[in-house]
Amino acid sequence: MRIGFIGLGNMGGPMALNMIRAGHSLTVYDIRRAVAEPHLAAGAKWADSPAAVAADSEVVFTSLPGPKEVEEVATGEGGILSKLARGAVYADLSTNAPSVIRRIGTEFKAKGIEVLDAPVSGGIPGACDATLAVMVGGNRAAFEKIKPTLDAIGDKVTYVGENGAGAVAKLVHNMIALCSTQLLAEAFTMGIKAGVSPEALLKVVQDGAYGQGMLLKGTMPRMVFRGNFDRVTFTLKLAKKDLGLATEVGRELNVPMPIASMVEQDFLAAIANGLGDKDMTVAVTVQENRANVKIRTAEPAKSTR
């Protein structure tokens, strides 16, 4: 298949490279041509616009910051819809609003084009290593058609349901992950203020039932050890965007979500303090300031043995 890929940022860039390494022929586009240099060196073709990508492709993927950008690239002037042929497939890998991807799906369907929402999870490391989880919503036959390409970027590719189901699944996942981090911050500030060291708390929680089976091992170390906020796996501003999409769905469906709404406010407070480009765990500093106690400590030296 002739594949188009639009959006070569921290996530899209590695995903597109992994598609090329898997033997797929790509036409690529990004608003910054320089980020496409590794792809062009690997054999990809450059296109000057989303429409030019679509004109040269049977399947088009996008990996973009959010719903506004996806809608503009998909259906705006000079967008994918203007040139993608009947029978083609458009798959959005971004974290998107279910209402937006469903609206896009309806517009594309009217021209005989299937739309899949296929958001991914695993962060930059997963994008680089092709170990992403991919959550796909849309037409089942279209999913089966492009699954070999999705297998090039992730080892956990799941068909979730109809158009929009993938977007919903991603928001559920991210809401749990993002809000859990702030709950950890609340628990740790209490424990530290009560006299227990952050290193000891980290060890006992990791060793306990929660840490053994329910805890993502990377979250608490990034929260506890100083300096790790600059080792970005997922920026706070993107985390705020994703959590905001989840609370928006809650409002649309009249689902009370008080914890998620409170965490969203913490994220906004941290962003207002200029921390939006740090790792999303930097939002724990909001709770540190409330409790007047620091969780973070010096990272232990790595063993040379």
Beta-bridge partners for 120: 134
Told to judge if 170 belongs to the known catalytic residues of this protein, a careful annotator would answer yes
Which residues are CB-contacts of 254 (< 8 A; sequence separation ≥ 6)? none
List the catalytic residue out of 83, 145, 156, 170: 170
Instruction: Compute CA 128 distance to the chain's CA centroid, rounded to the nearest angstrom.
Output: 13
Alpha-carbon distance of 37 to 40, in angstroms, equals: 5
| Residues near 279 by beta carbon (within 8 Å), at least 6 away in sequence | 222, 228, 229, 230, 231, 232, 233, 234, 235, 236
HEC per residue, the chain: CEEEEECCCCCHHHHHHHHHHCCCEEEEECCCHHHHHHHHHCCCEECCCHHHHHHCCCEEEECCCCHHHHHHHHHCCCCHHHCCCCCCEEEECCCCCHHHHHHHHHHHHCCCCEEEECCEECHHHHHHHCCEEEEEECCHHHHHHHHHHHCCCEEEEEEEECCCHHHHHHHHHHHHHHHHHHHHHHHHHHHHHCCCCHHHHHHHHHHCHHHHHHCCCCHHHHHHECCHHHCCCCEHHHHHHHHHHHHHHHHHCCCCCHHHHHHHHHHHHHHHCCCCCCEHHHHHHHHHHHHCCCCCECCCCCCCC
Catalytic residues: 170
